[in-house]
Chain A
Amino acid sequence: MSRPETFPDPIRKEALGLLARAPSGRLAQLLPELPEHDLLRAPEIGTVMVRGRAGGTGAAFNLGEKTVTRASVRLPSGTVGHGYVQGRDKGHALRAALIDAMAQQDAARVEERILAPLRDEEVARRKAVATEAAATRVEFFTLVRGEDE
């Protein structure tokens, strides 16, 4: 499979995933005022074809599309940020791109103000589901039947 050769930046990669999955309303709370910026790509709604694999591990096939919104921005300093987020909220994509750019300038501040709360909330949401699931975990056992003698 052809994959871009650029080395992924693991911190930036994790942050972009976190921003993509975050509830858009929550991002708007964490970044109410948009910093000054130029739009390199105005927020755009589109789709991505989601692929699966036959048998879970085999040949790739097209499962269906999902909605995605993307945007690219440049801060006055020249730093460029990109956002690709799930759903159709243009403000969500724009904020994700801005936060991506801001994090390249002042990673510690963005981590503390935005990414850390998003991560904590996501962990809590996932934990709540995992707790519900764990409560339905079952131990099946088979009974010895008389005729098995």
Chain B
Amino acid sequence: MYVAVKGGERAIDAAHAWLDRSRRGPVDQPVLDTAQIRDQMGLAVTRVMAEGSLYDPDLAALAIKQACGDLIEAIFLIRAYRTTLPRFGASIPIDTAAMRLKRRVSATFKDAPGGQILGPTFDYTHRLLDFRLMADGELPTEPLAEGGETESAATPHVLSFLNRDGLIEDAAPDETPPADLTREPMELPADRTLRLQALARGDEGFLLGLAYSTQRGYARNHAFVGELRIGMVAVEMDIPELGFAIEIGEIEVTECETVNQFKGSRSEPAQFTRGYGLTFGQTERKALAMALVDRALRWEELGEEDQGAPAQDQEFVLSHCDNIQATGFLEHIKLPHYVDFQAELELVRRLRAGLSDQDEDAA
């Protein structure tokens, strides 16, 4: 039972004022601009957009500033803001094969048609602190090498080559309007499209842990990164007043396709299976984790054994992957629970009193 408490307004105002001052920091330092956060803390911005489930780099930068860099708090601000906006409609599904690539790697085919593009990656860095950044040192600003062909045509997905030979399960188009967990509460069991929505906005850390658990043997599914690509895609929507679809913008996304352990039987030839990750922005750890967890959750439709692993349990995964739901419930226990606790305290006192009465009786 919840009982309201009153009082503390003055203390709350003072706490918020202190929060504002501590966000600002020493006034002899220049104030941090949201454009600087947007452009120089880009990966924090994309995480907030991905898990806030709203693509808007300026808003994400504002949320990060307001939250003093606490990304879950920033995601909370974005989720809250999103609910105030009307929704104009849904896009035509984005065409990731037409992505203008910034990065594209395959761990399965070194000679993937279209080539491998490393992009701005931390891979192959030495993970040594670079003190030039602290000293405000100048770093290379120009591309090092002459680019070759720059007008890149659509680059087909690596897995489409396997698919052509029937070596991997098909991903055939399905135009059924997908369920939307932001409109109707999620019902379990959830189909794959609803699971993908939940995973796309799920907490990166939670999904990383689950994905890692599958690699360590809790529902192992032998994932290879068939392809990981990052780049810009057009967002198209049908506009009723025009009577045709137009591009209403473009977004950066990360897409990860895994090639997983095969299935087959006496009647069906062996075939690789797929896991899929798609996230806003440059968020490749998240997209990769999403693909592994997506694949683990597909055990039933692929006729695999239930190993009782956490990553196979959709009730467990989908009910706990949302960091805003989780933090809301977790953090509420630090708010006043005086009356609840008084009741418990009374109960414990009564139990102890009863026990000591019994002790006396026994003596």
Which residue numbers of A lie inside 8 Å of B, CB to CB?
1, 3-9, 12-13, 16-17, 20-21, 44-68, 70, 72, 82, 84-88, 126-127, 129-142
Contact = CB atoms under 8 A, between A and B. Distances in A.
Contacts of A5: 243
B86 A46 contact: yes
Contacts of B192: 54, 59, 61
B58 A59 contact: no
B110 A140 contact: yes
Contact of B85 (A45, A87, A138): A45
A62 B249 contact: no
B7 interface: no
Given A3-B238, A55-B274, A61-B194, A8 B178 contact: no
A64 B255 contact: no
Chain A binding surface SS class: mixed
A16 to B, nearest CB: 4
Interface in B157-181: 157, 159-160, 171-178, 180-181
Interface of B: 49-50, 53-56, 58-59, 82, 85-94, 96-97, 100-103, 110-111, 115-120, 143-152, 157, 159-160, 171-178, 180-182, 192-194, 196-197, 200-201, 234-235, 237-251, 253, 255, 257, 274, 276, 278-280
B244 A7 contact: yes
Contacts of B59: 67, 88
Contacts of A87: 56, 58, 249
Contacts of B119: 133, 136
A52 B55 contact: no
B235 to A, nearest CB: 6
A51 B278 contact: no
Nearest to B242: A82
